[in-house]
Amino acid sequence: MNYEETHNRAGHLVIGGCDVVELVGQWGTPLYVFDEEAVINNIVMYRNALSGLPDYEIIYAAKALLTVGIARFMANHGLSLDVVSGGELYMALTAGFPAEKIYFHGNNKSAAELRTALDVGVGRIVVDNLYELELIADLARQKQKAADILLRIMPGVEAHTHSYIQTGQLDSKFGISIAYNQAIDAIKLAAGMPEIKLHGLHCHIGSQIFELASFAKTIDVMMALMAESKALGIDLAELDLGGGLGIKYVEGDQPASIQDFGAYLQDALKNSAAKYGLKLPKIMVEPGRSLVGAAGTTIYRVGSIKTNQGGRTYAAVDGGMGDNPRVALYQAKYHAVVANKIGQPPEQTYTIVGKYCESGDVLINSIALPRLEPGDLLAVFCTGAYNYAMASNYNAVPRIPIVTVYRGQSDLVVERETYQDLIRLHRIPARWLKNGV
């Protein structure tokens, strides 16, 4: 999207055919706006990009953004779903998401979570470690049913991204290491368990990846492991390559397109299959950020503005790290515009900060904008992934709502929390109410 050109005659930002100023008038600020058509277009691009594969599946990585409504939206568009907790599984089932299209991830799933997964019949449990493999086998034995699984493998590929979101290197909390025969030993163990149906392998090397070469290296490692398994008489029919494709947050970011990603993936898979004498397995990918990241925009209202002597000019908004912790966590960078002044030239450089009692509550360190005034609306782009999903009630601030927009229509997906919501689960022990205690 060319943000500066997406506006109406009043000079207001327009998203999904909706005037942002009007959205704020109806729903208030801060506000997450979810552009349905942007996501639909990305889904179509993924399907086109992978269409040359004989068998593939697109699994939405729910950790990027999940609500009951979003789960229903993804089901309506034919995607499968990657969940990482009992809570995400509950949301998906509440939305009516088909259990057989759910992939259950996580490095420390509880026995209760695994029992639920077995009871509802999720499509695959992605097994992270040997402890979990034994636990699943025991639970499946008790229930007198077989567990359909993939084994998560740590391929030893270090993606070029922030260290906090690298997951495929040999020193990671996720997966079974490829080194020292650990992966092949786990494959042999799982294949020999009567309660386990081992369908294939899973890997994931990180998030916000720009360099496609990391995926090619991963594919070669995983296909070599599948060939080694086949030599032992263990045929693995599925290979889940995870997600991780990056998006453009600010000028200078140069992620590969979904089309280029798909073409590169297919070439790497065909080359590795030929190299190891394998038939192409069913391929799964798990896009999250690359589906919903750019489809989200957060709208804030500007409050206090101050210039420190010899320092920066700070513009504070009515949200911040509670609704977007990524800047504090990952030093993430964002682009923004003044939603009620689109088309006006930049006049001053601002540091955009939030309302939370932390010096690290900074949304954008330096950005040139039209002259700001209290009451202006700031639109921060690409907040669809890992913003609402990671939001908190820090400083007892209610979490903000999500409104979906599509061709001029807006609908509420998540209501704004209230102060009553904040204390709904709070209790005061009776003995604390006694005088003198």
The C-alpha atoms of residue 337 and residue 247 are separated, in whole angstroms, by 18
Q: What is the pTM of this model?
A: 0.94
Q: Looking at residue 388, which CATH number applies to its domain?
A: 2.40.37.10
Is the distance from CB of 124 to CB of 109 less than 8 angstroms?
no
* Structural domain ending residue among the three candidates 263, 292, 321: 292
Least confident of 26-35, 302-311, 334-343, 363-372: 302-311
Q: Are residues 202 and 57 part of one domain?
A: yes
Which range among 191-195, 209-213, 394-398 shows the weakest confidence by mean pLDDT?
209-213
Q: Could you tell me the residue range of the domain that residue 396 belongs to? A: 3-34+293-423
The number of domains in the chain is 2
The predicted pLDDT at position 159 comes to 63
Model confidence at 166, pLDDT cuts 50, 70, 90, reads: very low
Per-residue confidence (pLDDT) for residue 436, from 0 to 100: 60
Host H or E run for residue 111: helix 111-120
pLDDT over 70, % of the chain: 95
Average pLDDT for 192-216: 94
Distance (Å, whole) CA 199 – CA 181: 19
Instruction: Tell me which amino acid residue 288 is.
Output: G
Q: How far is CA 143 from CA 110, 147, 152, in A?
A: 16, 10, 24
Task: Report strand pairing: 14-15 vs 18-19.
Answer: antiparallel
Active site (catalytic) residues: 357
Tokens of 188: 């042999």
**Which of 235, 270, 292 represents a domain boundary (last residue)?**
292
169 pLDDT exceeds 80?
no
Is the per-residue pLDDT at 3 higher than 60?
no
pLDDT tens sequence across 74-87: 999 999 999 999 99
- Tell whether 15 and 71 lie within a shared domain: no
User: What tokens does 63 get?
Assistant: 């950790």
